[in-house]
Structure 1
């Protein structure tokens, strides 16, 4: 019999016999149970003391505090990303819980679709890891070494392992974005985490959980829950592991945790186990390297890791192992590190823990400290805590004995019912429930007490647990309705611990965050509070606050919605408010400000980087660059940078082969040109280049856009709007009007809407007269075969208001004729399409039609009977009245010229969007006409000069 048989021989034999009796013959069950004892024996025999932990476990934290005072190790090896070690010194300036974070937006060597990459490691006070960190940082001469994968190695494994997945819900045991298979809380509550903002403090970051421990098999978990008479795994762990280990000795705690870790390890998924083993090889290699470099004796060190890793069977296990292992080189990704606030609900949401489990664990930890008299380790100066003087403890040591047999065979001592505690819980809960709208009373408090005791007895417990209390409260108080936004289960969580939210102190913030807080200090608002703060800025009375306003508008542009929200005031091109009102949640949403600090030193630098990144992105378009130009003009006021972005916009416009972005380009360039014309004596060079390049570019693409089915009417109308609207400027800069005429002449669309749009363009160019267009529309309205498609033509006419605003009277005319002439059986079927067409463009084009209709139609019901549509009257006056009615021709040189050439006057009127109306001699014999004739007679020189100019 070897040494191992001497220490655990009896236990090994008992487990084999039990497995054989259960299975009826020797088999896998006996081998697993015997192998678990071997794993425990192997870990206990290691020279470097291994401390197995479970995260958020008060029992682990209590055992750690006791052991550190006994052993006083000189080196503490911690299962934590090795590149996060420098962040631990900043925990003094924080209020727990917080999360260590590694962040990278510019990645190299990884899939570009993963960007940005983020890894968080949350830290709570009720954890063994925090006790080890506080001991190492507060004790002189003690070194704290993080030995786990670096952040870069985490994602190297994600990329190299075919079984690994970055998809939510398919994470590995220690690394994941959602429910982490392998995480176990100390205690918990059934249900999903709350959907409030605190539960998403970590975002979609990959989580590194310290002390990962949860079975990866559903069958065992279901078996344990059923026979343990509990609802979920957290409650089982608290009942059968957490509470018994809280009062157990160190040897018993260590052996039990190693045994449980070995069990879960042997029944774990193969892919998850490969990941765990690769991390263990890395950690043992790092520890051996440090021991050799520092000369530390293994007996003077302590290795803190999850119970799963403590029962490792890799060949690199142990400080005396000679098995080689090559650690991969990091990629070129530049990682940025910092601290972000965390919360109990955020930890529960990220790692799939039961709702309220971390809060209950924190409450259990505080209660255990008061009951057991253990002095925990705390960081001096940490925000929100006071230093507690540690008590002396006897030195430990001595041989390790078998504590497993006694622990496994002896039932836990029943705890006495603490009536005072249960009564206090019930009274406080009733008070809290009444504040949240429940009609609770003293009778309900008594019912909760009695029901809690009853439920505990039915479940084989000597005293009610927080879970029994929750169930009893739901039964006695909530009944069948929830009057407010919080149910009774959530109120119990608040009562028993609450969702504690951490905060990063000023000294631990990155330089950018500190700079922002310093620059916003003149506002006189406490930005460290977690409530939303209201800031009022009277920029006229206090000009010094304009600098604060600049910072707030930049933060509004950079941070997610709701963090910095303007209530009153705006800032656009050429517009600045004299009074502003802001809602600031920088204290509540501190994480976003911290992550912003990873991108630069000042908000101006970060904004410039983001605008430049957007303008030079592979998917960037001309409108994207113009949007960046607008933001730079409004927020940065950097002329050099604006010119750089403008030049980029010209490049992107010239390189585009589609016109999908034409409406946005037209809208933005119009606004920019109006701004420059109002504020500067001349247009910037890039603006002139953009207009000339756009004129040539859209002229080239216009014939294709008219015929392609993929190009919408909206895009073609925007192209024409650019060409017609910018034509005068483009011609002054050297463009040729013949380009536009040729482009329109080469356009041959087939779609009705585009045909109508082409007609409007030809009308604008003078190729098509309004009378000819009216005849075409009248013919379509009179053709039963064409009437069903007439809404498409009308859609094109509506879109034509963008390039030809003077086209509004004709559109009103066509719509009026359609409603007035078509029968109901033709009109009603296409009315929905007409309404849809108008609704799609209600913001820009319908107001133009409404104003034109208001000018065209009579304003009163009495005038409607005698009203004649102007388009009907114009048909009767196509020829000059002097020829048709025999009235005397107008007098004077101008009158003679107009009478001789009436078509020129008609064309000029059509160009201005007006209908030529010739008056008879009787109609012209008015005081106004006489006054105009007298004016021409008194000043003949002006009329003669105009005549010479026209006839030249």
Structure 2
């Protein structure tokens, strides 16, 4: 049976590929269908009335072809594959230095999961890209309209799968700050040409003798198409897009989104042509080669399929702007090999000099070069009738570039120089080795002229070996040598109002804050009070921006304190992206800071500790009493609703500091402070019994609760709280853990329910019990945590620990000594210094004094237990003599207590050997003994004996 004659421009090629498939596979079925379908896709795309220009992202060949096409036959309308709501930002590119990224940013979400916040979509733009050539031509040519037809940034997230995180090409974590310029934004690229079939990619890399996809593309597509004519370029790019589109393992959700994008773009182009009446012959559709081979029903202007239904946008409020980008950031964003974009930029510059094509560049752009459109080389106009250029291109052998020894020699000399500057022991011999190895690698990879990839591999092999002496390896040095990691910058006029306001307010510092270097700012606030406004702004930026953007070297800003001299390291130019995204949240820094503080106390994860931190920040940075009262009232609400005490230490620390600040700066405490103390007193009294027995609550948290109750007890009682709440809470606590049991004993001692002598006896019983001795370090940990709420226990803790070391034998002491150290280090590192200072006051300072030293607790009377109430009072004894010798202090105390008569009455009978009677001492002998014990120095036991 005779096969039908081939039809169409590519009939001969289709027949040739079908015969080759039959001979190769033995059957003209599936394989032949793929090859013939690729030819059909090329024929369909090139036969469309609206000219389709396929591109690859950041491709010098695409940029050259675009520049030639625009000069040969300038279009009147350019449809560009880019998010349609980013169009107003493109006019701001003329104020920037490329590369930059167009960004859409949103923090106030409506219609998306809250876990996705913040949303960020970026589209990086480099000079060596076809999209930039189209943008520059359209914006600087009168009468040309640029229309963006891709889905909006809101639809980027609408079409994302509703899982924990939105789908998108998120960059891998990297330590390089330049590679992290895009953050975790979702990237939008024009022309993603990469196989979606892993086996196909590995096959191409293996037989192409290259390491990664960027190198394969540069060798087999980029270089051959750099000098190709317009028709050849279009046909080859559509053929590659069709190949990658058809060779997919299975249909995925990404494929569905790609087809929806294509339906969206064709629908928008149809709507624009119908609304404006533009002639399709004067229009140009710029899209990725993958989309040029589309097979959706809406493809083409002659399609009868209905328009694609486009859903309305959500209520999310999007903000738009430009952020700086870099070559490494683009590579990290889209998974390209390191150095790919830098090498593309170098190839773009070399191709411009070789082909004499004048690129389009926006007027006034910060590039240091001026456009030269008047000197453009005239390119041949594209032919009206498409001819078959694929057959000749696919059948022609690859062009082997001649070895440029001067270029390669210059690379080798420069890389050795860079390596020596970065600590490598490189020499002229290494330069020769790199030269020869580059040629060898190129020959092994079937090319006569070494590419930058061959040179980089040779340099790593010959110079780096197995040692990297500095921060940069040799491959990174090769990237710097071949063009470097160019970092873009957004111009002042394109910055959001907040960023411009920051630069204007910091202008008195006399620094060029748009530079990427770290600059030192010195502020003498006493000598130049005008710089106080700069200091206030820097402290706010310190709170809002990354740590390395604004870093204080000297000076601090805390409650009630402002430094008179400050020194800052400023890197706002390096952190321009963070400053720009800050401008999306408000007009001034003060407004953004106020919004963030409110958001911190109103969020779902807000706690009382965070609210107190927000109050402190509002006092330090904003000095707004209205905001402080609002945040403080919210802190009271959060404390009353908390059901755990995990943040009790943080709450205690911050409320102490805030109360001290208000007591020294205001005549009376604010209403929210008083409400916080009373609410906290009742709240912690309620939770105290449960916290003592709860295994998930640590001893540190219970100690902080007691610290809040004991330290703020007087203030709480003066505000109307009832002390019986605390006594009932302590009485209802029945812990079993040793540390919490010791903490309970300390609390009962503070309340007067457990005398010190009884507490001493309990600890002695614990040391005498062999079964309890291994757990004794945990008891000591509880006593150490009690030093904060009950600081008077410090001498007793020193005494208990000393008694343990004195009484326990070495076989018992040595095993639990490491446990004691690790327990104290883990549970009470901030309280151990209190114990050390008390031990320093108790023990002698010199070694000779230790021989005759008697511990204070050993010098105390054995019967020092207070007699029970109602028992006969013992005589004053020697304590009376001490009080007689210092009557003024006791008279002052008596006056404070309301006693008009002096404590010493000559007529009153005194004790035997005493100097007169004392009704006050006779009525309260326990107090006299206690005062005598506290005042007795270690060397005078006669004052405390008796």
Give the TM-score of the pair, scaled to structure 1.
0.91
Instruction: For 1:845 and 1:722, locate their aligned partners in 2 and report how far apart those are by CA, in whole Å.
Output: 16
Q: Spell out the pairing of 1:503-514 with structure 2 (5 A cutoff).
A: 503-514=489-500
Q: What is the match of residue 907 of structure 2?
A: none
Instruction: For 2:434 and 2:771, locate their aligned partners in 1 and report how far apart those are by CA, in whole Å.
Output: 79
Residue 417 of structure 1: CA displacement? 2.3
Instruction: For 1:832 and 1:737, locate their aligned partners in 2 and report how far apart those are by CA, in whole Å.
Output: 40
Residue 439 of structure 1: CA displacement? 3.1
| 8 Å contact from structure 1 (residues 890, 899) kept in 2 | no
Q: Spell out the pairing of 1:289-688 with structure 2 (5 A cutoff).
A: 289-324=271-306, 325-390=308-373, 391=376, 393=378, 395-688=381-674
Q: What is the match of residue 814 of structure 1?
A: 800
Residue 367 of structure 1: CA displacement? 0.5
The SS at the match of 2:159 is helix
Instruction: For 1:635 and 1:88, locate their aligned partners in 2 and report how far apart those are by CA, in whole Å.
Output: 37
| 8 Å contact from structure 1 (residues 194, 345) kept in 2 | no
Instruction: For 1:826 and 1:101, locate their aligned partners in 2 and report how far apart those are by CA, in whole Å.
Output: 68
The structure-2 alpha-carbon separation of the partners of 1:66 and 1:586, relative to structure 1 and needing over 3 Å to count, comes to same
Match of 2:102 among 91, 100, 103: 100
Residue 101 of structure 1: CA displacement? 0.9
Instruction: For 1:19 and 1:921, locate their aligned partners in 2 and report how far apart those are by CA, in whole Å.
Output: 113
The SS at the match of 2:161 is helix
Residue 474 of structure 1: CA displacement? 2.6
How many pairs are equivalent? Answer: 900
What CA RMSD, in Å, does the superposition of the two structures yield over aligned residues?
2.4
Residue 906 of structure 1: CA displacement? 4.4
Can you list the C-alpha shifts for 1:758-807, whole angstroms capped at 9, x where unaligned? 11111111111111111111122112222222222211111111111111
Unmatched runs of 5 consecutive residues or more in structure 2: 866-873, 880-909
Instruction: For 1:436 and 1:883, locate their aligned partners in 2 and report how far apart those are by CA, in whole Å.
Output: 83
| 8 Å contact from structure 1 (residues 906, 916) kept in 2 | no
| 1:747 is aligned to 2:733 | yes
Instruction: For 2:941 and 2:920, locate their aligned partners in 1 and report how far apart those are by CA, in whole Å.
Output: 16
The structure-2 alpha-carbon separation of the partners of 1:889 and 1:919, relative to structure 1 and needing over 3 Å to count, comes to farther
The structure-2 alpha-carbon separation of the partners of 1:429 and 1:3, relative to structure 1 and needing over 3 Å to count, comes to farther
| 1:902 is aligned to 2:925 | yes
Q: What is the match of residue 26 of structure 1?
A: 28
The structure-2 alpha-carbon separation of the partners of 1:529 and 1:44, relative to structure 1 and needing over 3 Å to count, comes to same
**Larger CA deviation: 685-694 vs 316-325:** 316-325
Residue 919 of structure 1: CA displacement? 7.8
The structure-2 alpha-carbon separation of the partners of 1:104 and 1:289, relative to structure 1 and needing over 3 Å to count, comes to same
Instruction: For 2:364 and 2:787, locate their aligned partners in 1 and report how far apart those are by CA, in whole Å.
Output: 69
The SS at the match of 2:523 is strand
Instruction: For 2:877 and 2:227, locate their aligned partners in 1 and report how far apart those are by CA, in whole Å.
Output: 118
Q: What is the match of residue 939 of structure 1?
A: none
Instruction: For 2:678 and 2:939, locate their aligned partners in 1 and report how far apart those are by CA, in whole Å.
Output: 39
The structure-2 alpha-carbon separation of the partners of 1:882 and 1:593, relative to structure 1 and needing over 3 Å to count, comes to closer
The SS at the match of 2:93 is helix
Residue 130 of structure 1: CA displacement? 0.4
Residue 920 of structure 1: CA displacement? 6.3
| 8 Å contact from structure 2 (residues 932, 943) kept in 1 | no
Q: What is the match of residue 276 of structure 1?
A: 258
Match of 1:785 among 766, 771, 777: 771
Residue 815 of structure 1: CA displacement? 0.7
Q: Spell out the pairing of 1:154-233 with structure 2 (5 A cutoff).
A: 154-159=156-161, 166=165, 175-178=168-171, 195-233=175-213
The structure-2 alpha-carbon separation of the partners of 1:666 and 1:130, relative to structure 1 and needing over 3 Å to count, comes to same
Residue 166 of structure 1: CA displacement? 4.1
The structure-2 alpha-carbon separation of the partners of 1:718 and 1:133, relative to structure 1 and needing over 3 Å to count, comes to same
Residue 899 of structure 1: CA displacement? 4.4
Instruction: For 1:513 and 1:388, locate their aligned partners in 2 and report how far apart those are by CA, in whole Å.
Output: 30
Can you list the C-alpha shifts for 1:829-861, whole angstroms capped at 9, x where unaligned? 222221123223555312211121122112222
Can you list the C-alpha shifts for 1:467-508, whole angstroms capped at 9, x where unaligned? 222223233333443332222222221111111110111111
Residue 918 of structure 1: CA displacement? 11
Instruction: For 2:764 and 2:790, locate their aligned partners in 1 and report how far apart those are by CA, in whole Å.
Output: 21
The structure-2 alpha-carbon separation of the partners of 1:901 and 1:671, relative to structure 1 and needing over 3 Å to count, comes to closer
| 8 Å contact from structure 1 (residues 909, 916) kept in 2 | no
| 8 Å contact from structure 2 (residues 100, 488) kept in 1 | yes
Instruction: For 1:923 and 1:224, locate their aligned partners in 2 and report how far apart those are by CA, in whole Å.
Output: 97
Give the TM-score of the pair, scaled to structure 2.
0.92
Residue 907 of structure 1: CA displacement? 6.4
The SS at the match of 1:566 is strand
Instruction: For 2:652 and 2:944, locate their aligned partners in 1 and report how far apart those are by CA, in whole Å.
Output: 49
| 8 Å contact from structure 1 (residues 882, 888) kept in 2 | no
The structure-2 alpha-carbon separation of the partners of 1:847 and 1:442, relative to structure 1 and needing over 3 Å to count, comes to closer
Q: What is the match of residue 870 of structure 2?
A: none
Instruction: For 1:71 and 1:240, locate their aligned partners in 2 and report how far apart those are by CA, in whole Å.
Output: 28
| 1:10 is aligned to 2:12 | yes
Match of 1:737 among 700, 723, 743: 723
**Larger CA deviation: 121-130 vs 105-114:** 105-114
| 8 Å contact from structure 1 (residues 97, 125) kept in 2 | yes
Instruction: For 1:273 and 1:9, locate their aligned partners in 2 and report how far apart those are by CA, in whole Å.
Output: 29
Q: What is the match of residue 235 of structure 2?
A: 255
Instruction: For 1:258 and 1:571, locate their aligned partners in 2 and report how far apart those are by CA, in whole Å.
Output: 62
Can you list the C-alpha shifts for 1:524-575, whole angstroms capped at 9, x where unaligned? 1111111111111111111111111111111111112211111111111111
The SS at the match of 2:603 is coil
Q: Spell out the pairing of 1:774-923 with structure 2 (5 A cutoff).
A: 774-840=760-826, 843-876=829-862, 878=864, 888=912, 890-894=914-918, 896-899=919-922, 901-906=924-929
Residue 176 of structure 1: CA displacement? 1.3
Instruction: For 1:619 and 1:194, locate their aligned partners in 2 and report how far apart those are by CA, in whole Å.
Output: 29
| 1:288 is aligned to 2:288 | no
Instruction: For 2:495 and 2:670, locate their aligned partners in 1 and report how far apart those are by CA, in whole Å.
Output: 41
| 8 Å contact from structure 1 (residues 380, 386) kept in 2 | no
The structure-2 alpha-carbon separation of the partners of 1:414 and 1:710, relative to structure 1 and needing over 3 Å to count, comes to closer
Instruction: For 1:499 and 1:341, locate their aligned partners in 2 and report how far apart those are by CA, in whole Å.
Output: 13
Instruction: For 1:258 and 1:792, locate their aligned partners in 2 and report how far apart those are by CA, in whole Å.
Output: 75
Q: What is the match of residue 935 of structure 1?
A: none
Instruction: For 2:939 and 2:914, locate their aligned partners in 1 and report how far apart those are by CA, in whole Å.
Output: 14
Residue 816 of structure 1: CA displacement? 0.8
Residue 897 of structure 1: CA displacement? 4.1
Instruction: For 2:431 and 2:851, locate their aligned partners in 1 and report how far apart those are by CA, in whole Å.
Output: 80
Residue 720 of structure 1: CA displacement? 1.1
Instruction: For 2:439 and 2:577, locate their aligned partners in 1 and report how far apart those are by CA, in whole Å.
Output: 43
**Larger CA deviation: 805-814 vs 835-844:** 835-844
**Larger CA deviation: 605-614 vs 742-751:** 742-751
| 8 Å contact from structure 1 (residues 316, 322) kept in 2 | yes
Q: Spell out the pairing of 1:30-69 with structure 2 (5 A cutoff).
A: 30-69=32-71
The SS at the match of 1:501 is coil
Q: What is the match of residue 88 of structure 1?
A: 90
| 8 Å contact from structure 1 (residues 109, 333) kept in 2 | yes
Instruction: For 1:238 and 1:917, locate their aligned partners in 2 and report how far apart those are by CA, in whole Å.
Output: 90
Residue 29 of structure 1: CA displacement? 0.8
Can you list the C-alpha shifts for 1:26-54, whole angstroms capped at 9, x where unaligned? 12110000000000010111111000001
The SS at the match of 1:330 is coil
Unmatched runs of 5 consecutive residues or more in structure 1: 180-192, 925-952
